[in-house]
Amino acid sequence: MEPLWIRDDLIVPVAHLAVSYTRALTSVVDGEVIVLDSVQAAKQNPSAVELRLDVRACDVFDAAQKAKIIAWRPLGADRRGVVRVTFGEAETRPKNLAGARERLADAILEALAAPEPGAEVAQSKAKRGRGGLFKAR
């Protein structure tokens, strides 16, 4: 696998990326869900790719960038700081891997362009008077 190129100044080394391949063991035909065995699934369903990035261990990002990426909801970071993207729309593994790499790079760029997490929450809190919140009469 090659390093993940996000932009000119951000290239994620291969050591921080992990890939796994899966197949769906169900198929939908005419609105009915059919359970397949593994041989049938291999013949009918393309293998989906799950691409994972260990953000906390990656030294390419600074602390603020790591916080933004981990807080970005579409990436779904776990408690260890690993974000994951799945892609299974193409018919072959190499195409699915290329799609997952592109999706991960786009999601990281979106996360880095987002405002700081929690910045808008501080402004929206209601102010209290000395006696607490007052009801309007």
| Residues 48-60: tens digit of each pLDDT | 899 999 999 999 9
pTM more than 0.75: no
DSSP the chain: ---EEEETTEEE-GGGEEEEEE--SEEEETTEEEE--HHHHHHHSPPEEEEEEETTT-TTS-HHHHHHHHH-GGG---TTSEEEEEE--SSSHHHHHHHHHHHHHHHHHHHHHSPPTTTTTTTSSPP-BTTBPPPP-
> Which of the pair, 71 or 127, is modelled with greater confidence?
71
* Max avg pLDDT among 36-45, 79-88, 112-121: 79-88
Domains in the chain, ordered, with CATH?
A: 4-21+50-113 (3.30.160.20)
Look at residue 121 and tell me whether its pLDDT is greater than 60.
no
| Residues 20-65: tens digit of each pLDDT | 988 766 767 788 877 777 777 777 777 789 999 999 999 999 999 9
